Structure 1
Amino acid sequence: METYLNFMLIRFALIAGGLVVLALLIFAIALTLKRRGRLDEVRRYADPVMRAGLRVAARRLEGGKSGASWSRRQDGRR
């Protein structure tokens, strides 16, 4: 049992460390873009992508309430 808990703790530490590294990388990229004056340009390109992603996520969450209806189209066909 102790070996399993150690494995789970190591796995958690690796995941948390990876998320921290990813956050630092994103911060460094945003800072570099801001210093070069290109952050507004990147925002202009990323905005439609983020909106589309949020729409897809909202559709999945709404459809998930009634079971498998998220895999069907609006007219009921698959």
Structure 2
Amino acid sequence: MHLASLEKPDKKRRSLIRLGIEQGQAYAWSRTRMGGWAVAQSPILGTTITLNHLKQRGYLPLSDIYQQITPNKRDSLFLMT
């Protein structure tokens, strides 16, 4: 989603509804005058963009990637022989 397209309240409202927010709450949140940083720290994004939603979109948690690429301490590389 392009940042300039989110400057219009109607686009924000439609996007929030698409993410599963009720229409009344989406209307109120779309009319906020908070800046991008304030919105990111508010319940607006915390309740709309969840880990489950990101996983459904194909994003992987960094902790899962780290565990896949980091050798386990029980592997032979870490054993003192």
TM range (shorter): under 0.3
Scaled by the length of structure 2, what TM-score is found?
0.26
The structure that has the greater radius of gyration is 1
Of structures 1 and 2, the one scoring higher in RCO (CA 8 A, sep 6+) is: 2
Q: More helix per residue: 1 or 2?
A: 1
